[in-house]
Amino acid sequence: MQASEQIWMDGKFVPWGEANVHILTHSLHYGLAAFEGIRCYKGKQGSAIFRLQEHVDRLFESAHIAMMAIPYDKKQVTEAIIETVRVNKLDSCYIRPLVYIGYGMMGVHPGDNPIRLAIAAWRWGAYLGEEALTHGMRACVSSFTRHHVNVSMTRGKISGYYVNSILAKREAKANGYDEAILLDPDGYVAEGTGENVFIVRRGRLITTPLTSILEGITRSSLMQLARERNLQVVEERFTRDAMYVAEEAFVTGTAAEVTPIREIDGRRIGTGKPGPITTSLQQAFFAIVRGEDSAHSNWLTPV
């Protein structure tokens, strides 16, 4: 990680190396915290944050699901995110707001411990690597199952849920793959460790329905771009072997952006290279976030 200069913590900026919490911070022990991943891109007209309002909305939704009342309103949080990028003089970056339960009561019930908010931003390149963005990544179906909707409320982007992702990711990397794809409790494809999954099958763009997955903001953006290009977009359950016989496959996410999949479980996907639909949507996405296509300028918040 490339350290920046300042982190916003509870209404004020503190030096990066001094942005600390007490070792008995409740969220550190029990995992109940809500967070977002947001990207700022350097574009033709200057730097801009991608779909900032949607990310702020989802942060508040996640906190609400977790019964954490954020002590700031959406306008204040939005302004704090923009200011964090400005203060650190970042023309492109990844932004991480984190709502967490602070120090006080110990035990499963946090009592009236304070709800705290921190916002960090730092330079971060391609999450799965430039090679994966260009040529596609290798994935495997994980031995770990994704969350059941009544075990983990999957509309919330909750820190503790990502233990499942960490275990799946470690397993995949240990076995020589770039990423893991998890199945839902019924055995259908759910999502990656931090990404939504798409396949192209017989000309249709198919993605998993909002049953046991996080409602991805990049996911919804790609679906809109696909429909604008007269592609048939379908939300339906599909099996792991449906991925094996797909013509194309890719994942989306704030960190992963639009990353093609060239292989799953040792099986080549399509030609083993990014397909025409994946490539077209990837190019359309990057043209928008870099300010080269003004069709969705409302998705960008200037810094």
All structural domains of the chain, each given as residue ranges with its CATH number in brackets, are 6-122 (3.30.470.10), 130-289 (3.20.10.10)
Find the farthest-apart pair of alpha carbons in the chain and give their distance in angstroms, rounded: 56
- What average pLDDT does the structure give for the chain? 96
Q: What is the pLDDT, as a whole number, of residue 44?
A: 86
Q: What pLDDT, in 10s, does the model give residues 199-218?
A: 999 999 999 999 889 999 99
Q: What is the pLDDT, as a whole number, of residue 243?
A: 98
Q: What pLDDT, in 10s, does the model give residues 249-260?
A: 999 999 999 999
Active-site residue, 157 included? yes
From the candidates 12, 42, 157, 173, which is the catalytic residue? 157
Q: What is the pLDDT, as a whole number, of residue 256?
A: 95
Query: Is the predicted pLDDT of residue 125 greater than 90, yes or no?
Result: no
Query: Is the CA virtual torsion 79, 217, 91, 297 positive or negative?
Result: negative
Q: Give the model's confidence band at 91: pLDDT under 50 very low, under 70 low, under 90 confident, else very high.
A: very high
Q: What pLDDT, in 10s, does the model give residues 64-84?
A: 999 999 999 999 999 999 999
- Residue 42 class from Cβ within 10 Å (0-12 exposed, 13-18 middle, 19+ buried)? middle
Q: What is the pLDDT, as a whole number, of residue 129?
A: 85
Give 3-state DSSP helix, strand, coil % of the chain, rounded to 5.
30, 30, 40
Q: Give the model's confidence band at 45: pLDDT under 50 very low, under 70 low, under 90 confident, else very high.
A: confident
Q: What is the pLDDT, as a whole number, of residue 106?
A: 95
